[in-house]
Structures are given as structure tokens and as C-alpha cells.
């Protein structure tokens, strides 16, 4: 049967509700990122209860008013088209009064606008199904800041890339092999692009488009693939781009949506992008991403695969900080 799709446009205008939501989002993100307070804390611990109360408040404000419109089939897709600060809402983690998460009841994805959904759908329908994966993990890290200091190595990201490459029957690209020029060149022909590395929020190039991905530097490149550089790429085959890095979904919030890495990849030709909304822990992210690709091998629907990966990961890592950061933007299949 054809799946139900419900598009919910949220947050038009600076209403008192939107101000309240923005405050709750900011507080919730702050609590989720307080790793010292919630590390290894059981769900009944005080920090987790505080986070749950805020997630329930967001659910009450954003979901309960449209609950009657949402499909009862958990495999049916709900498409959120947020506005302003609502781009930063972790919809999967919103909790009903009974404590259940929204992702337990619905398959979710987001889009910057209805027009973007139409664009990505048209791209997807025109593409072949030849699988050409590009899997990158833990490149030799570039240096950033003043004075320049190398970014830290990500051993879990390398393990993640190796596991995913095995699932997709390809070779992971790691270390010095994962140079910025080499990866940018290979992106042009890849159908699946998975980048497990550091993500930076800064406008590195000073061109007004924030965000960069860390790759191995060379004599000719600084190792920072910026959102502005991605805008200049052509990705005619990219069905799926997964940015398994910190804060890849964030960027400058404007009336047109979030300008950043996700917007740049869609503008360059990607049909769908999976991004994170906060700095994600290495170990739980590796588990979630491995489950995501295992699910994709069984079912090509990316939204359903991500949902099932979250449900699996939360069994081992119950904190929503560990499994709830990622969101699918664009097409599901």
C-alpha cells in the first residue's frame, strides 16, 4: 500500500509559542550536551528526568496540536518542514506524556521547503540504481585555529567506516588516503557518500556559508571541505549523503532555512542527506550508523532504515543524546 505522507509546516512568525519553543530547544540542547552530567546516567537519574520534561514540553507544543493528522502506521512517513529555530528540534526524541519517543510511533524526515521535496523527488526518479559507495572514516586530520592545532583522531569513525564498507562490499578510505582533493573528485560519481569525520560550524572561508568537513590535507589543500566548496561540486549520482560528524545539520538560520553543509549537498545534487543536530558521541554513532546500513540492505527506504537504527541503538544507549541527533533531509527512497 502507498505510504501516507503528512507535511507539517512549523513555526511561522515570532509567536509566543515559537519563542517558548526556541527557549526549550536551547535548554534541551544544553542539557543533552552536558556529557558529564548524563554520562552513564540511568533514565531515572535527575539529569535525564530534566531532559525528558523538556522533550515532553516540546511534544506538547509541536506534536499534540497535529496528532490527529498523523498516520497510525509507524512505517508511514511524517515530513516536517520547520521554520527558523525549529530546524534545531530533534523531532525523533520528542516524548509523549507516557514517555514514548516520537520515533517509536512514526517514521520521520525533514525538508527545508515543499519545493525542495519536489526537487529531490524529481532527481531520485531520474537516477539509475547502480550502487557506487564512497565510504570515508577518520582521515588524517587537518589543523585549525590560531595557532594551528590538529583535530583529534576519531578511531570509532574509522571502525564505523570499515564496518559500513564491509556491509556495502567496498573499501573504506581512511588516513592520508582520504585527502580533500581525492574525496571531492570521487564524490562526483558516488551514489552513496558516507563521511565519518569532524564537522565544523565555522564559516571557514569567510564567504557567508558556514560549515566544513575535515579531510586529509595535502600540499595544495587545507583539508577542510567547506560548505561553499561543496556548493561548487556536481553530484549527479548522489542518492544519499551521510554526514556522520558533529553538528553537521546546524548552520546560519535564515528565512530560507539552514544554510550549511546539508543545504550545500542538496544544492550540489544530492537527493537526501543525513545530518546531526549536535556533537554526537563516537561509540553510539558507530553503532547507529552500522545498524542504518544493515537496515538499508534489507529495505531501501532510508527514513525507515534510520528509524529502525534508532530503535536498535536506544536499547544499548538509552540516552536520546546518543541516538537522537541524526535527521534525514530529502527523499526516503
Do the Cβ atoms of 7 and 79 come closer than 8 Å? yes
Examine the pLDDT at 4 and tell me if it is beyond 50.
no
pTM: 0.88
C-alpha 80/C-alpha 69 separation (Å) is: 13
Pairing mode of beta strands 133-139, 173-175: parallel
| Percentage above 90 pLDDT, the chain | 49
User: Which of 126-135, 177-186, 217-226, 290-299 shows the lowest per-residue confidence on average (mean pLDDT)?
Assistant: 126-135
The pLDDT assigned to 36 comes to 45
Task: Answer whether residue 13 shows pLDDT above 70.
Answer: no
pLDDT at 262: 87
User: What count of residues does the chain have?
Assistant: 333
pLDDT at site 33:
66
Q: Domains of the chain: which residue ranges?
A: 130-301
- Residues 243-287 pLDDT 10s: 987 656 555 654 444 557 888 999 999 999 999 888 778 888 889
Percent of the chain beyond pLDDT 70? Answer: 81
| SS (HEC) of 43-58 | CCCHHHHHHHHHHHHH
pLDDT attached to residue 257: 47
- Is a pLDDT exceeding 60 seen at residue 14? no
Residue 90 has pLDDT above 60, yes or no: yes
User: What is the mean pLDDT of the segment spanning 150-163?
Assistant: 91
Instruction: Check residue 1 and give its pLDDT.
Output: 38
Distance, first Cα to last Cα, the chain: 15
Residue 208 confidence (pLDDT): 59
Rounded to whole angstroms, what are the CA distances from 320 to 221, 241, 305? 37, 23, 18
Q: Is it the case that residue 2 has pLDDT exceeding 50?
A: no
For the residues of 7-20, what is the DSSP string, one character each? EEEE--S--HHHHH
pLDDT at 293: 96
Higher pLDDT, 219 or 52: 219
Residues 80 and 91 sit within 8 Å (Cβ to Cβ): yes
- Report the distance separating Cα 202 and Cα 207, nearest Å: 11
How far out from the chain centre does Cα 324 lie? 9
Q: In whole angstroms, what is the distance from residue 48 CA to residue 14 CA?
A: 30
Distance CA 244, CA 164 (A): 12
What is the pLDDT confidence band of residue 42, given thresholds at 50, 70 and 90? Answer: low
- Return the C-alpha cell found at 167: 556491509
CB 221 within 8 A of CB 213: no
Per mean pLDDT, which of 14-23, 139-148, 168-177 is the most reliable?
168-177
Q: What is the pLDDT of residues 277-330, one digit of tens each?
A: 887 788 888 899 999 999 999 999 999 999 999 999 999 999 888 999 899 998
210: Cβ–Cβ under 8 A, 6 or more apart, which residues?
201, 202, 203, 227, 251, 252, 259, 260
Mean of the pLDDT values across residues 222-236?
A: 92
Going from the C-alpha of 32 to that of each of 8, 179, 247, 260, the distances in angstroms are 25, 33, 13, 22
Residue listed under C-alpha cell 529502525? 308
Q: Do 290 and 163 touch, CB atoms closer than 8 A?
A: yes
Specify the pLDDT at position 256. Answer: 44
Architecture of 130-301 per CATH? Answer: 3-Layer(aba) Sandwich (3.40)
Q: Does 118 or 73 have the greater pLDDT score?
A: 73
Amino acid at each position: 500500500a502507498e505510504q501516507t505522507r503528512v507535511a507539517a509546516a512549523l513555526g511561522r512568525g515570532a509567536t509566543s509559542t515559537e519563542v517558548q519553543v526556541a527557549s526549550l530547544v536551547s535548554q534541551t540542547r544544553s542539557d543533552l550536551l552536558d556529557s558529564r552530567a548524563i554520562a552513564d546516567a540511568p533514565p531515572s537519574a535527575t539529569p535525564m528526568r530534566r531532559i525528558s520534561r523538556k522533550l515532553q514540553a516540546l511534544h506538547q507544543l509541536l506534536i499534540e496540536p497535529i496528532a490527529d493528522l498523523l498516520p497510525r502506521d509507524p512505517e508511514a512517513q511524517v515530513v516536517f518542514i520547520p521554520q527558523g529555530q525549529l530546524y534545531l528540534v530533534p523531532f525523533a526524541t520528542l516524548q509523549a506524556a507516557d514517555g514514548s519517543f516520537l520515533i517509536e510511533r512514526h517514521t520521520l524526515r525533514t525538508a527545508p521547503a515543499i519545493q525542495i521535496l519536489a526537487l529531490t523527488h524529481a532527481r531520485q526518479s531520474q537516477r539509475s540504481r547502480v550502487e557506487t559507495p564512497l565510504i570515508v572514516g577518520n582521515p588524517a586530520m587537518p589543523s585549525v585555529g590560531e595557532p594551528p592545532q590538529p583535530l583529534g583522531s576519531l578511531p570509532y569513525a574509522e571502525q564505523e567506516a570499515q564496518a559500513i564498507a564491509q556491509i556495502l562490499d567496498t573499501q573504506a578510505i581512511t588516513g592520508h588516503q582520504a585527502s580533500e582533493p581525492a574525496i571531492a573528485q570521487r564524490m562526483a560519481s558516488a551514489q552513496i557518500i558516507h563521511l565519518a569525520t569532524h564537522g565544523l560550524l565555522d564559516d571557514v572561508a569567510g564567504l557567508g556559508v558556514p560549515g566544513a568537513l575535515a579531510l586529509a590535507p595535502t600540499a595544495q589543500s587545507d583539508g577542510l571541505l567547506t560548505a561553499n566548496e561543496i556548493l561548487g561540486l556536481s553530484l549527479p549520482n548522489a542518492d544519499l549523503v551521510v554526514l556522520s560528524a558533529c553538528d553537521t545539520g546546524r548552520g546560519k538560520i535564515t528565512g530560507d532555512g539552514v544554510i550549511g553543509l546539508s543545504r550545500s549537498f542538496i544544492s550540489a545534487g544530492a537527493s537526501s542527506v543525513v545530518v546531526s543536530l549536535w556533537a554526537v558521541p563516537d561509540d553510539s554513532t558507530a553503532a547507529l550508523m552500522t545498524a542504518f546500513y544493515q537496515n538499508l540492505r534489507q529495505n531501501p527506504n532510508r527514513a525507515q532504515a534510520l528509524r529502525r537504527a534508532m530503535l536498535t541503538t536506544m536499547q544499548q544507549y538509552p540516552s536520546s543524546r546518543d541516538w537522537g541527533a541524526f535527521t534525514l533531509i530529502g527523499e526516503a527512497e
